[in-house]
Amino acid sequence: MCTSAALQASLRAALTNDMVMTDSAEMLRFCRDWHGDVTSSAVAVLRPRSTEDVASAVRACRALGLSIVPQGGNTGLVLGSIPDRPESQVVLSLERMNAIRNIDADDFSAVVEAGCILSELKDRIAEKYMYFPLALGAQGSCHIGGNVSTNAGGINVLRYGMTRELVLGVEVVLPDGTIFNGLSTLRKDNRGIDLKQLFIGAEGTLGIITAVSIKLMPFPDQVATALLGLNSLDDAIKLYRRARRDCCDLMSAFEFMPPLAFVLAREAIPDLSMPIAGDYPAYVLMEISGSGLVDIADLMERFLGGVMEDGLVVDGVIAASQAQARNLWLFREGMNEGQAKRGPHMRTDISVPLYRLADFVRDAEQAVSEALPDCISVSYGHVGDGNVHLNVLPPSDSSPDEAAAKIYKAKTVVNQVLDGYNGSISAEHGIGRLKRADFEERLDPSRRAVLTALKQAIDPSMVMNPGCQLNFPGIS
């Protein structure tokens, strides 16, 4: 077995010097997760500038017996993008591959490199009066390649779908260093099995995505945002069904928040002004948007008039300006930071069939309060997609060991309830290394067999992100 120094020297000899980073202080940001909970290290961090660079890096690592952890913006929340075997892994960061190769306004498509930061990409597309609808809290840092590799969701899924539905093609460096060019922009292409789907959501376990072709939409120049007070989560689900129908499927966001959201958000951002006077058991942040001849403001007003008359919504406010809309969204975004400020806590990213969501939240919160009476549950999220973050906050004065024990217990309790609802332990964030054991525990043997056969066929030497998603004991 070579020492790290020998491996680093071999990488420098095989690759252009400026691609290989080995200084441990410089490598730190690539080896620490977004929350700062886990810090690892690596033999090296490789920062290619082109697809050919990536291919050379893969060939060099393979020859040296090193495995590769691909990394985009490192905002993933499941430890898929940082190494867990520092003595035999390199991080391959796509951050220097951030060119926009083409934006085609007539075709409503673009071809972009994997390292484009999502918000910057959206801004460049907006300059052409087009729209890329993927939208998530991490968009100022995450990369489009990371979004595709995790099949990211976000706030606009109910209208535009998960990332998978926005991808037309991918360019991938395979584990043997060959380049798979699947960068088509065709919307209709039924020439056999759609291979790009293998790499979407694979979390870097089958290859390195170097570029993506994506679908674009007309820019939604009209947006109406409203915060609504309701009597219950059940009413929120009823409201969602009604909104989809009454708003001609122009709804682009529908976020559920409990009253605690406002407390948490103001703990993080103290000068946030309260948008609604009364207190309600449930809140919905809703957005409808469109372009062209449709009158979105009128649609929102008529819709809210109807649902308030029927008692489904008790109170509400429609943002009168972009600044007011931003203020409403700050409550949704600030509540995450507020939870972090209260210390380590249990975070989930769960989905259940929509019609069972309210029952699930009730049952799971009840089970947590029985098992852990001194902890607080907070459930919120993209409920229109059946996706809820049911998080559990231990008391702020818990010692690190006490908090860790409560977090473990809360996860076990919530997952037990979830299993009874046939739900998913990962609606959006993927499996990474954090959820591998929970995933494997619930994995159907036939699905495991297919996943193992795929890995065996594409990456038999286990070069790509070993330990992420699944362990494959039978593969060398």
- The answer to whether 145 contacts ligand FAD (rule: CB under 6 A) is yes
Among the listed ranges 39-47, 137-145, 186-194, 288-296, the one in contact with ligand FAD (CB under 6 A) is 137-145
The reply to whether 96 sits near ligand FAD by the rule CB under 6 A is no
Q: Does 386 bind ligand FAD (CB under 6 A)?
A: no
The alpha carbon torsion through 193, 154, 458, 454 (nearest 10 deg) reads: -70
Strand order in the sheet with 376-380: 350-351, 387-393, 376-380
Q: Is residue 71 a contact point for ligand FAD (CB under 6 A)?
A: yes
Residues 411-450 that bind ligand FAD (CB under 6 A): 428-429, 432
Q: Which is nearer to ligand FAD, 71 or 98 (CB)?
A: 71
Confirm or reject binding of residue 149 to ligand FAD (CB under 6 A): yes
The reply to whether 153 sits near ligand FAD by the rule CB under 6 A is yes
Using CB under 6 A as the binding rule, whether residue 264 contacts ligand FAD is answered as no
Q: Is 334 in the site for ligand FAD (CB under 6 A)?
A: no
Q: Does 154 bind ligand FAD (CB under 6 A)?
A: yes
Contact region with ligand FAD (CB under 6 A), list: 139-147, 251-259, 270-278, 390-398: 139-147
Options 201, 204, 229, 334; binder of ligand FAD; rule CB under 6 A: 204
State which residue, 120 or 301, has the beta carbon closest to ligand FAD.
Answer: 120
Stretch of 67-75, 286-294, 406-414, 455-463 contacting ligand FAD, by CB under 6 A: 67-75
C-beta of 142 vs 296, nearer to ligand FAD: 142
Smallest gap from residue 166 Cβ to ligand FAD (A): 12
- Opening angle at CA 125, ends 122 and 127, nearest 5: 115
Task: Closer to ligand FAD by CB, 144 or 228: give it.
Answer: 144
CA distances to 201, 340, 352, 412 from 415, rounded to whole Å, are 22, 22, 12, 5
Taking the complex as a whole, the smallest distance from the CB of residue 42 to ligand FAD amounts, in Å, to 13
Does the footprint of ligand FAD cover residue 94 (CB under 6 A)?
A: yes
Residue 298 Cβ vs ligand FAD, minimum distance, rounded to whole Å: 30
Nearest approach in angstroms of CB 71 to ligand FAD is 4
Give yes or no for residue 114 binding ligand FAD (CB under 6 A): yes
Q: Where are the alpha helices (DSSP H) in 162-214?
A: 196-199
- Span from 19-27, 136-144, 285-293, 435-443 in contact with ligand FAD (CB under 6 A): 136-144
Is 209 a binding residue for ligand FAD by CB under 6 A? The answer is yes
* Smallest distance, ligand FAD to C-beta of residue 3, A: 26
Q: Shortest gap between Cβ of 190 and ligand FAD (angstroms)? A: 26
By CB under 6 A, residue 74 contacts ligand FAD? yes
Contacts with ligand FAD by CB under 6 A: the residue count is 37
Burial letters 315-349, b for 16+ CB under 10 A, else e: ebbbbeeeebbebbbbbbebbbebbbebebbbbbb
Residue 66 CB, shortest distance to ligand FAD, in Å, is: 15
Residues that bind ligand FAD (CB under 6 A): 34, 69-77, 80-81, 94, 114, 136-138, 142-143, 145-147, 149-150, 152-154, 203-204, 208-209, 336, 428-429, 432, 465, 468
